[in-house]
Amino acid sequence: MRLRPFTARLFATRLCAVALLATAPLLAGCGAGHDEGGAGHDGGGTPYGHRDDARRPGAVQAYEHHAGEWKLVWSDDFRGPAHRRPDPQKWVFDRGGEPQWGNHEWQYYTDRPGNVSLDGAGHLVVTARRERLPGMACVVGPCDITSGRITTKGRFSRAYGRFEARIKVPGGHGMWPAFWMLGANSDKVAWPDNGEIDVMEVLGRQPGTVHGAVHGPGYVSQGIERHTGLPRSRSLADGFHIYRIDWTPDRITWLLDGKVYGSACSGGLKNGQKWVFDHPHYLLLNLAVGGDWPGPPDDSTPFPARMVVDYVRVYAHRH
């Protein structure tokens, strides 16, 4: 989410299908898995995935664990009355517009309940609105879109475990919802050396595909990226889905609705690349609009657009 130069990301997206075929023999180790039709249920049953899933030959095999092997260490189920801001003991707001986000995004982040608040039914709603507020200053776009971005910086960070959120993303050209993580040492170590883990990114113009990635030294604008799609041209914007990573000292694995679709590991890096995922990261939720990767909104883009978050949960392995 931090930087997305358009040409690099377009190149990566176009080559993804070829890369998946090329890495098929390595999928049991560390690489990209693409399980057509394997992901995409609502995710409302168990949060522990599907240990009995029978995958096609060549797909990444999930290293699932029994529920008893995990313990919940942090969560937010967003309970509270409608229009209340999220718990300030857990979340802080990022505010403002470009150039601080680095992606030529159009939105201006605020801390208003109109952009980030509880809905009174156990959800957090991040809303992008077409409006211009006094004091807004932007260097990209028409400066007439507000949205929200919250983080756990200074409140919670962790290395290793299971990180997941159940989210309904918005569709529409220019929409760019994300659930991601940044190294908690960001005040001392600049990006990308502090590390970035993208648990979920969805482009509104491609609402059937979820992207997961990591960014670090030597894999900056074009990170190590995995993605998967829903079967039968279904859209992630049609319902809630569980976006998850499992993170160990040498591996990060991405799952959609309990099914693995790819992984990155320290042993798979190239010369000049460094594995920096050995320290705590904090969490981020945001709804960006426009930018180099998703492109601008157009006349068909619905406003207000809403990213609805049912919960965010972090688990650790029991020892």
Please give the average per-residue pLDDT across 65-70, as a whole number: 68
Specify whether the CB–CB gap between 116 and 93 falls below 8 A.
Answer: yes
- Which of 64, 105, 164, 201 is the catalytic position? 201
- Asked if the model's pLDDT at residue 295 lies above 90, the reply is yes
- Asked if the model's pLDDT at residue 36 lies above 50, the reply is no
Strands 219-229, 209-216: pairing kind: antiparallel
- CA distances to 20, 49, 159, 265 from 250, rounded to whole Å, are 21, 21, 12, 5
Higher pLDDT, 29 or 150: 150
- Asked if the model's pLDDT at residue 65 lies above 90, the reply is no
- pLDDT band at residue 1 under the 50/70/90 scheme: low
- pLDDT band at residue 168 under the 50/70/90 scheme: very high
What pLDDT is stored for residue 43 in this prediction? 37
How does 91-106 read in b/e, with b if 16+ C-beta sit within 10 Å? bbbbeebbeebebbbb
196 belongs to the catalytic site: yes
What pLDDT is stored for residue 2 in this prediction? 53
What pLDDT is stored for residue 100 in this prediction? 84
Query: Which of these ranges, 28-32, 62-66, 243-247, 295-299, has the smallest mean pLDDT?
Result: 62-66
- Asked if the model's pLDDT at residue 8 lies above 90, the reply is no
Cα–Cα distance, 51 to 37 (Å, whole number): 17
What value does the mean pLDDT of the chain take? 84
- pLDDT band at residue 158 under the 50/70/90 scheme: very high
Q: Yes or no: is domain 6-317 CATH 2.60.40.1180? A: no
- pLDDT band at residue 54 under the 50/70/90 scheme: very low
Most confident of 28-42, 50-64, 163-177, 221-235: 163-177
Please give the average per-residue pLDDT across 70-97, as a whole number: 97
Cα–Cα distance, 144 to 106 (Å, whole number): 8
- Asked if the model's pLDDT at residue 35 lies above 60, the reply is no
3-state helix/strand/coil string of the chain: CCCCCHHHHHHHHHHHHHHHHHCHHHCCCCCECCCCCCCCCCCCCCCCCCCCCCCCCCCCCCCCCCHHHEEEEEEECCCCCCCCCCCCCCCEECCECCCCCCCCCCCEECCCCCCEEECCCCCEEEEEEECCCCCCCCCCCCCCEEECEEECCCCCCECCEEEEEEEECCCCCCEEEEEEEEECCCCCCCCCCCCEEEEEECCCCCCCEEEEEEEECCEEEEEEEEEEECHHHCCHHHCCEEEEEEEECCEEEEEECCEEEEEEEHHHCCCCCCCCCCCCEEEEEEEEECCCCCCCCCCCCCCCEEEEEEEEEEEEECC
The pair of structure tokens assigned to 256 is 């959609």
Residue matched to tokens 């829903």: 230
Cα–Cα distance, 318 to 158 (Å, whole number): 15
98 belongs to the catalytic site: no
- Which of 64, 105, 164, 196 is the catalytic position? 196
Q: Domains of the chain: which residue ranges?
A: 6-317
Cα–Cα distance, 305 to 285 (Å, whole number): 15
Specify whether the CB–CB gap between 200 and 307 falls below 8 A.
Answer: no
Cα–Cα distance, 147 to 203 (Å, whole number): 16
